[in-house]
Structure 1
Amino acid sequence: MANWEEIAAKKRQTLKDSIPPEWVIPEDLLPPDSVDDVTGFPEASGWFTPEELAITNSNALELLPKLASGELKSETVTRAFCKRAAAAHQLTNCLSETCFARGLETAKKLDEHLARTGKPVGPLHGLPISLKDNFHLVGLDSTVGFVSHIGDAATYESVLADLLREAGAVFYVKTNVPTAMMIAESVNNVFGRTVNPLNRKVTSGGSSGGESALITFRGSPWGVGTDIGGSLRIPAACTGIFTLRPSFGRFPTLRCRSGMPGQEAVQSVNGPMTRTLDDLEFYCKTVVGAEPWLADPRCLPVPWRDVELPKTLKIAVMWDDGMALPTPPVTRALKEAVEKLRAAGHEITVWSSEDQQTGARLLDRMFVADGGKAIRKELERSGEPWRTEMGAYEVAEELGTSEMWQLHLDRVEFQKRYLDRWNKAGIDAILCPTTPYSSVENGKFRHVGYTGVYNVLDYSCISFPSGVLVDKSIDKPTGDSYKPMTDLDRTIQAEYNPDAVHGMPINLQLVGRRLEEEKVVAMVKTMLDTLS
């Protein structure tokens, strides 16, 4: 019987072989490893046609009217994104599965339908959409980074995939994740590490880091990731794109593969990852407009609602979470945003981090409540070793039923305390960092507290680009006079390397209350107008 390394190597080779020869980057055009930023490769290489560049540089809302009218054929658009996704993978290792032929066949049928009927199939007619690895598509693996799941091809599709297909979407790739989707960088023993196309020395985040890398390279017009502790917001922040972490029940989650199946103390959700806020909003309206509660029994029958914001917002700013100070560029971006919002007439107040550590501890307890058994079971099936990033799961002790029930009670008590504070403050939103980093060198992502606490609360959150870039001449490391809040803080500040992240985009996070997805979208629109 083959050992786990042989099985993983064969899977990687199969993925490599799935790229047609015409989409393999010629050796003489391949950027050397010393080239960090590969986002300019499609234009600079001369390997893409002007039409392929025009298509793949377009956003979803620019493509959809042309696809619906027949001005652009879905087969042409899909082929262009297949080629660019293939290039993205060769430069960043962002994919886990391809189904190029299937995607092109779907696109041809959509073109034929439009030609025959004069009507598009649905609001997403002919548009390619990338999916995170854990979304089941028939005939494809969903390894979620486990060797044990190699060859376990899906026999059914995720409910969200069915919904998107019925709306006219075309599937062509799935994207890489970390082991069990429980690491903040996308690295596993099957496919290896996904890197950031803006700078291959730094991470694209996790666990939806394959998606963020692909979208940032423009190998996908938009994609879908998931989030249980920041897995949408962290990779969006690492690459400077938009994402929405919705409350549980707004988007369908049924029939997706989990790294820890059955764990429901903190719910995993899925959401869009896009290059524009308008694309993000359209995706949300489309998914909710399809009435997903008729297909997923845990979806809430809540239509997408119109929101009218007050003329001035009351925004509470959380400068740090009491566990780790943001690195200097993130603090600077937050300060600049606050100054502009205040100048525009919005009311700014301070949000104390007094409850953040409690929320982070709850999240940690929830993640390891089974003593790491679910993850250990999959590793032992193949003999795959524990990765060092999974150390907390390797040594965890399982909670008993009584202890788990108490954890649920502690969670609800925490949710109530936070809600009461919010109501007393009378705020519209919390503005805070998404992570302590713009991005960070591969292997050095240390803290998910800024995102994970809001998973415990099940709040609606958007990670969005602030418009500020890291400047190593300004964003100097904290000096010797700085007194770290925690050992974690000391490590993060000591490892901050302005040279490594110079020029990287900086995202911020806007947090609304539970089920306020429409409101956070509207508030970020207002913020972008103010910050631009």
Structure 2
Amino acid sequence: MSSSTVTTDTPASPTWQEIAARKSAALLASIPKEWIIPEDKKPPASQDNVTGWPRESGWFTEEELAITESSATELVSKLATGALKSLDVTKAFCKRACAAQQLINCLTETCFDRALETAAARDEHFARTGKPVGPLHGLPMSLKDNFHLTGLDATVGFSSHVGDPASYDATLAAMLQDAGAVFYVKTNISTAMMIAESVNNVFGRTVNPLNRQLTSGGSSGGEAALIAFRGSPLGIGTDIGGSLRIPAACTGLFTLRSSFGRFPTLGCRSGLPGQEAVRSINGPLAATLDDIILEAKTIVDAQPWLHDSRMVPLPWREVTLPPKLKVAVMWDDGVVLPTPPVTRALRQVVDKMQATGRYEIVDWDPKDQLQGIKLLGRMFVADGGKAIKKELARTGEPMRPEMNLYDAATELGTYDMWMLHVERDAFVKQYLDRWNEAGIDAILCPTTPYSTTKNGQFRYVGYTGVYNVLDCSCVSFPSGIHVDQDIDLPLVAGEGYTPRSDTCKATHQEYDHAAVHGIPISLQLVTRRLEEEKVLAMTKQILSLL
């Protein structure tokens, strides 16, 4: 009698390409049919600036346009008095966010059913009590992909995290919801949130609604692009090397990079879990400074130190600025000279400040900046790129070319990492001593060397990253000045311009004044650690001059 062996084939695991394709298909399928742009309404692929399309298309009602083109502060005021209903406001932003996704590829998750249910509950509460739920009553808000929301993925751009929905809401998300916010979408990022543009192998590239040939920055670029398109009135991103300020600058928005300890970070997925040599922070992105202040004050007033023990028990402080402020101007950081429009905007703003007599302006020597940016880079790759490589290996996903530093990195041992911390602390003290000796209130400088760049050409994060190492409070704000291709002509090496570095040389070789014509130019105001209220008050004062 013969016997036979029965074998069962184990199904092959899906490839990263299959995972990405399924996720993208699911995202598209989550958009209701009534929010799919009709073919005869779509802007042509050749139309670069799509920010005016919602009004030009005729696809949105006047009510939807009025709602989505209002600031968060304006909306909250009307929602809190019953002049607007949360359900109507939420539906309008859901529709506009769906349009944004179809035109600029800025979303990773949608939760429209959750949003409409929450909005209806906000309206029911107001009808029953006559009172708003909280300071953000009924306001739709968007979140960066890495914030955990129950039932949704937080991929941080890795195919390995697809299909791993959260069972809880991130601490900051829960606090915002307690304050009355309504969540409806999450937004695109870069792989591991460690690229200065929002591009990854799962969702692809987010482009800039001001010009789809240009980048919206990263890693919070999906958030910035959505808000610039007015698909969200107020959103939350993160910043570990400029990931809030860079996208804000690329799209002409406001943002606050707080010091660690003001806004809770529990319940967020990190691209470099356990990395604490330089801390990631959460912060708001919006079209107005008042909206930034609204979100920041709401969170601090809710005592975040009771929700995340690493937060500083520091209540919101009303600031009265002195009659005269001393501001140091860093014209360039000695590593990459800003492109011509950024230098022009900085000069014009400084001239306006000096003309008031309310500011003492001094120059800031950038002699420490190179050390700071090198420290940041060493901290990011101290694990030899293992955190990123291991996540990619789970599905066989390749390392993106923008992340070659992680591919080539060598892991530090414990002792060497400790010594890196010692070097960082000495650098922080060195910078503080210079600050105190100069007696300055703030540093005014470029947010980036660019207004923005063509997709794939954002090369340098030094203007933001050094202040992450220092853990300073920073605001990036639009200067009110735009690139003018007839004025902001390229610099030519040897004709009054000497490259500071190879990156500087590449930056100016790639600078295309015609491509960025009309793009808003942003600047950065920096104060000491934990001076969020002061930097916001100073920014507001400077804006009054512009």
Distance 1:474 1:499 in 2: 11
Q: Does 1:433 align with 2:433?
A: no
Q: What SS does the corresponding residue of 2:366 show, helix, strand or coil? A: coil
2:115 match:
103
1:182 match:
194
Superposed CA deviations along residues 314-337 of structure 1, whole A, max 9, x for unmatched, are 110001011100000000000001
1:340 match:
352
1:192 match:
204
Residue 107 of structure 1 deviates from its aligned partner by 0.3
Q: Which of 109, 124, 147 is equivalent to 2:136?
A: 124
Distance 2:14 2:242 in 1: 35
Superposed CA deviations along residues 348-379 of structure 1, whole A, max 9, x for unmatched, are 00001100000000000000000000000100
2:430 match:
417
Q: Which of 355, 370, 392 is equivalent to 2:383?
A: 370
Matches within 5 A, 1:258-277: 258-277=270-289
Give 4+ residue runs of structure 1 displaced > 4 Å after superposition. Answer: none
1:498 match:
513
2:372 match:
359
Q: Does 1:165 align with 2:177?
A: yes
Matches within 5 A, 1:187-336: 187-336=199-348
Q: Percent of pairs identical after alignment?
A: 68
Q: What SS does the corresponding residue of 1:97 show, helix, strand or coil? A: strand
1:456 match:
469
Superposed CA deviations along residues 199-222 of structure 1, whole A, max 9, x for unmatched, are 000000000000100000000001
Q: Does 1:519 align with 2:534?
A: yes
Q: What SS does the corresponding residue of 1:423 show, helix, strand or coil? A: helix
Residue 118 of structure 1 deviates from its aligned partner by 1.1
Superposed CA deviations along residues 359-412 of structure 1, whole A, max 9, x for unmatched, are 000000000000000000100001000100010001100000000000000000
Matches within 5 A, 1:5-16: 5-16=17-28
Residue 340 of structure 1 deviates from its aligned partner by 0.6
Distance 1:147 1:321 in 2: 37
Residue 495 of structure 1 deviates from its aligned partner by 0.4
Q: 2:441 corresponds to which letter in structure 1?
A: D
Distance 2:390 2:16 in 1: 14
Distance 1:305 1:166 in 2: 22
Q: Which moved more, 1:69-78 or 1:450-459?
A: 69-78
Distance 1:52 1:485 in 2: 49
Q: Which of 392, 409, 430 is equivalent to 1:396?
A: 409
Matches within 5 A, 1:13-162: 13-162=25-174
Residue 157 of structure 1 deviates from its aligned partner by 1.1
Q: 2:508 corresponds to which letter in structure 1?
A: Q
Q: 1:340 corresponds to which letter in structure 2?
A: K
Superposed CA deviations along residues 147-176 of structure 1, whole A, max 9, x for unmatched, are 000001001110001100100100000000
Superposed CA deviations along residues 216-240 of structure 1, whole A, max 9, x for unmatched, are 0000001000000000000000000
Residue 479 of structure 1 deviates from its aligned partner by 2.2
Q: Give the TM-score normalised by the residue count of structure 1.
A: 0.99
Q: What SS does the corresponding residue of 2:23 show, helix, strand or coil? A: helix
1:508 match:
523
Distance 2:180 2:425 in 1: 40
Superposed CA deviations along residues 277-300 of structure 1, whole A, max 9, x for unmatched, are 111111111000000100101111
2:4 match:
none
CA RMSD in angstroms, aligned pairs only: 0.6
Q: What SS does the corresponding residue of 1:315 show, helix, strand or coil? A: strand
Distance 1:60 1:112 in 2: 21
Residue 101 of structure 1 deviates from its aligned partner by 1.1
Q: What SS does the corresponding residue of 1:382 show, helix, strand or coil? A: coil
Superposed CA deviations along residues 235-281 of structure 1, whole A, max 9, x for unmatched, are 00000000000000000001100001000000000100011111111
Q: 2:522 corresponds to which letter in structure 1?
A: N
Q: What SS does the corresponding residue of 2:524 show, helix, strand or coil? A: strand
Q: What SS does the corresponding residue of 1:299 show, helix, strand or coil? A: coil
1:486 match:
501
Superposed CA deviations along residues 24-57 of structure 1, whole A, max 9, x for unmatched, are 0001111121100000011000000000000000
Q: Which of 431, 444, 449 is equivalent to 2:457?
A: 444
Q: 2:58 corresponds to which letter in structure 1?
A: G
Distance 1:44 1:350 in 2: 46
Distance 2:29 2:341 in 1: 41
Residue 66 of structure 1 deviates from its aligned partner by 1.2
Superposed CA deviations along residues 436-459 of structure 1, whole A, max 9, x for unmatched, are 000000000000000000000000
Structure 1: runs of 5+ lacking an equivalent:
none
1:406 match:
419
Q: 1:81 corresponds to which letter in structure 2?
A: F
State the number of aligned residues.
Answer: 531
Structure with max Cα Rg:
2
